[in-house]
């Protein structure tokens, strides 16, 4: 017997919203069995889901009451079956429905006509005394269909926020459990953030802190902190990375604007409640390099010993080069894919829930010494000069700190990329390693980092053979 996942009372809007929320979650082999009496809302739900899945709200979705089956050329294909008029179960085989199930998404009305019924998600529609309402009960394997219950939570949230009439499209996911969906209706859009309570709370707090100080964090339209759901302003798709890729002449002006933004951010004391990213914590984090990258290269005892000395060396250098300045708010995951050039020419900020209290150079290092792209030297220099002009910081001390924070950050990322390959089966990040290493070598040219440079020089760099060796250890 399938587990009852949830029961909800739905009007037509929530029924449609549930279908639209569930549509992006479906994949080949998923079967939805729509059970309930005539007029309970099964066809309404199926029509909304098919249109959402095909991303075509005008798609003609006739009821297959007489044809029994209607198919649609989606990816994967969609099969919509209405077995109410089925006279002989043998006809199911003739329709090809059973053969199609493993490679298709199937919606089956009157599934009790199939003996035995296929495994899948059961949606039981039951009319209520109020003709505008129905009860919908979802049943299925809890582990397999957790995505269905989460989709239902999103549907209820957007319905309560007044957005149940919006089309829903998957927008993005990231390395965490966060996911984003774009809601669209009559030329208006918003972004649905699907996270969890521990993630959403700091996101909302940082959003308020940034907006109160004039920074362009997305406006919060609605939020349910306990459910980890928020509906936020849609900044669009013009990531700074994409803007510059389309027009490289924009790099200089945009990075100077980013530097000015960070200088303005550095004028405020750290946001309350954020974690301190100081020397000891940076040393702990850079330990990922010694833990993952160095041994994965096949390095000998001397190189491994050098790698183990990197963390305490970073801590000593941070105390010497960075501890003289009070920390500021660092957005931490700050790079050209998390900054949007909005339609009205603002710099929209994304992904700042993990903000930290850190040295003023940290975010500038993050955006200029980006693991994914090369910033022209003249552009980098102009951005640093703009930051120094706007903050009035001592150039020599700032540049030494900038170099240390860049080396620490990129050595840590080398460890992370190695771990992603070996422990999580994600080898694609290895392609960024040569660029990362070139940044580290540049940063270690600072005379103040000679001690750290000597240690790193004893460890194999990511040449072709080394990357191949790491890749051979990738989890399968």
Domain borders along the chain are: 3-164, 179-233, 240-472
Cα–Cα distance, 368 to 379 (Å, whole number): 9
Return the DSSP state at 27.
-
Angle between helices 12-22 and 146-160 (to 10 degrees): 140
Strands (E), 375-469: none
Which pLDDT value is given to residue 178?
85
Helix axes 377-391, 395-424, angle to 10 degrees: 120
pLDDT tens column, 10-59: 999 999 999 999 999 999 999 999 999 998 999 999 999 999 999 999 89
pLDDT at 419: 97
The pLDDT, as a whole number, for residue 220 is 98
Q: Half-sphere exposure of 25 toward its Cβ, with a 13 Å CA cutoff? A: 21
Query: What is the mean pLDDT of the segment spanning 313-321?
Result: 98
How far is the CA of 22 from the CAs of 34, 102, 152, 154, 468, in angstroms?
14, 19, 7, 9, 40
List of residues 6+ apart from 239 with CB closer than 8 A:
336, 337, 338, 339, 340, 341
| CA 310 centroid distance within chain | 31
Q: What is the CATH number of domain 3-164?
A: 3.40.50.300
What per-residue confidence (pLDDT) applies to 173? Answer: 61
- Superfamily the domain 179-233 falls into: Phosphorylase Kinase; domain 1 (3.30.200.20)
Question: If you count them, how many residues does the chain have?
Answer: 476
Say what the pLDDT of residue 176 is. Answer: 56
Confidence of residue 429 (pLDDT cuts 50, 70, 90): very high
**pLDDT for 174:** 55
pLDDT tens readout for residues 369-426: 999 999 999 999 999 999 999 999 999 999 999 999 999 999 999 999 999 999 999 9
Q: Residue 398 has what pLDDT?
A: 98
Q: What average pLDDT does this structure show over 126-145?
A: 93
Per residue in 83-113, pLDDT (tens digit) is: 988 877 777 778 888 889 999 999 999 998 8
Domain 240-472: CATH class, spelled out = alpha beta
Residues with Cβ < 8 Å from 67, sequence gap 6 or more? none
The per-residue DSSP string of 286-332 comes to HHHIIIIIHHHTT--HHHHHHHHHHHHHHHHHHHHHTTTS--EEE-S
């Amino acid at each position: 017997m399938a587990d009852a996942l949830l029961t909800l009372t739905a009007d037509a809007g929530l029924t449609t919203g549930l279908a639209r929320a569930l549509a992006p979650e479906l994949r080949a082999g998923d079967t939805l069995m729509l059970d309930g009496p005539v007029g309970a809302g099964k066809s309404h739900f199926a029509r909304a889901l098919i249109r959402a899945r095909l991303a075509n709200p005008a798609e003609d979705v006739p009821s297959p009451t007489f044809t029994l089956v209607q198919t649609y050329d989606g990816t994967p294909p969609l099969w919509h079956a209405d077995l109410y008029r089925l006279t002989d179960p043998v006809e199911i085989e003739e329709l090809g429905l059973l053969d199609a199930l493993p490679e298709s998404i199937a919606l089956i009305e009157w599934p009790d006509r199939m003996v035995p019924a296929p495994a899948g998600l059961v949606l039981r529609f039951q009319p209520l005394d109020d003709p505008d309402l129905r009860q919908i009960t979802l049943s299925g394997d809890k582990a397999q269909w957790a995505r269905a219950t989460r989709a239902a939570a999103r549907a209820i949230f957007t319905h309560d926020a007044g957005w149940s009439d919006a089309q829903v499209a998957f927008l993005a996911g990231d390395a965490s459990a966060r996911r984003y969906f774009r809601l669209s209706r009559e030329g208006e859009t918003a972004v649905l953030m699907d996270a969890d309570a521990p993630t959403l709370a700091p996101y909302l707090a940082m959003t308020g802190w940034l907006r109160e100080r004039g920074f362009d964090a997305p406006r919060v339209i609605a939020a349910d902190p306990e459910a980890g759901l928020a509906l936020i302003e849609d900044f669009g798709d013009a990531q700074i990375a994409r803007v510059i890729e389309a027009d490289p002449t924009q790099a200089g002006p945009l990075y100077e604007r980013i530097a000015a933004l960070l200088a303005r951010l550095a004028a405020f004391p750290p946001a309350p409640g954020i974690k301190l990213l100081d020397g000891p914590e940076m040393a702990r984090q850079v330990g990922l390099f010694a833990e993952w990258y160095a041994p994965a290269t096949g390095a000998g005892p001397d190189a491994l010993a050098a790698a183990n000395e990197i963390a305490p060396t970073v801590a000593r250098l941070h105390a010497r080069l960075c501890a003289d300045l009070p920390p500021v708010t660092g957005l931490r995951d700050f790079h050209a894919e998390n900054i949007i050039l909005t339609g009205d020419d603002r710099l929209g900020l994304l992904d700042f829930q993990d903000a930290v209290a850190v040295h003023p150079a940290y975010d500038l290092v993050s955006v200029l010494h980006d693991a994914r792209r090369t910033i022209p030297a003249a552009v980098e220099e102009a951005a640093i000069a703009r930051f120094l002009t706007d903050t009035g910081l001592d150039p020599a001390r700032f540049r030494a700190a900038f170099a240390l924070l860049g080396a620490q950050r990129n050595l840590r990322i080398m460890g992370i990329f190695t771990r992603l390959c070996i422990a999580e089966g994600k080898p694609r990040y290895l392609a960024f390693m040569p660029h990362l290493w070139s940044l580290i070598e540049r940063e270690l040219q600072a005379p103040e980092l000679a001690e750290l440079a000597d240690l790193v020089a004893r460890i194999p760099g990511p040449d072709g053979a080394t990357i191949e060796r790491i890749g051979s250890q990738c989890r399968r």
